[in-house]
Copies of this chain bind each other. A is one copy, B any other.
Amino acid sequence: MGRTSDAREKILTTARRLIELNGYSALGVAEICKAAGVPKGSFYYFFESKEALVRAVIDEEWTEERDGWKVILGGDGAPLERLRRLFEATAAEQRAGKQSCGTVSGCMFGNLTLELSNRTEPIRVRLQEIFDAQVGMVRSVVEEARERGEVTVADSTAAARAVVAQIEGQVLFAKLYNDTQGLDTMWLNCLALLGARPPERAAAV
């Protein structure tokens, strides 16, 4: 029992790393098993297909990320301060990824959206749920800030979606140029999108 659940974890960890590096289509079950050091029979004991494995990888990644977002956005401080911390954590994660493996791997959900959403309906639906949840979490903070008169958006859902879209677009550039420097501008862009203009903006942008 201990050995089999260990094999499942090995497959998941290996698949997550390979998906981050190469995406979904380039991934083969034989390659995963070889890299994870588990027999192919184990793979099909735990996962009925490569697609099922990818769904499990997505779920694991989102559970971790969502917990991180909850801690940051539900923490102490003014709403915009918490939102700023989320941007810093996002940039820090991409920088850490680059430091550990030499390449910016980007956002797994964005990567899989562009690669897979038109091909695999269950994965599209799951990715929709994840981005819906992200937009919902940002929207709550934006609404809090609006109640305090700190932002000037009329449609908080559209504003939250623009903020998440800006993150995805800037992370795409970080991956393309293998350079995380541009991520530092994300927060000022977010403030502009929300119609918030703290004193430092005029000097920095």
Task: Evaluate contact between A161 and B176: CB separation under 8 angstroms.
Answer: no
For the complex of A and B, 4 pairs with smallest distance between CB atoms: A165-B169, A25-B25, A169-B169, A168-B169
16 A-B pairs (CB sep. < 8 Å): A25-B115, A106-B114, A114-B175, A117-B175, A118-B175, A131-B173, A155-B205, A158-B182, A161-B182, A162-B166, A166-B169, A168-B169, A189-B193, A192-B193, A192-B194, A192-B195
Q: Which residues of B contact A72 (CB under 8 A)?
A: none
Task: Evaluate contact between A172 and B205: CB separation under 8 angstroms.
Answer: no
In the bound complex, how far is the Cα of B162 from the Cα of A193, in angstroms? 10
Q: Which of A149-194 contact B (CB under 8 A)?
A: 153-155, 158-159, 161-162, 164-170, 172-173, 175-178, 182, 185, 189, 192-194
Provide the main secondary structure of the chain A interface.
helix
Interface size class of A (residues with CB under 8 A): 35 or more
Interface residues of A (CB under 8 A from B): 21-26, 103-106, 110-111, 113-119, 124, 127-128, 131, 153-155, 158-159, 161-162, 164-170, 172-173, 175-178, 182, 185, 189, 192-195, 202, 204-205
In the bound complex, how far is the Cα of B151 from the Cα of A20, in angstroms? 38
What distance in Å separates the Cβ of A131 from its nearest Cβ neighbour in chain B? 6
A25-B115, A154-B205, A162-B192 are known; give 14 further A-B pairs, CB within 8 A.
A21-B118, A22-B119, A23-B116, A24-B25, A110-B114, A118-B178, A128-B177, A154-B204, A159-B205, A162-B185, A164-B169, A168-B169, A168-B172, A172-B172
In the bound complex, how far is the Cα of B114 from the Cα of A191, in angstroms? 26
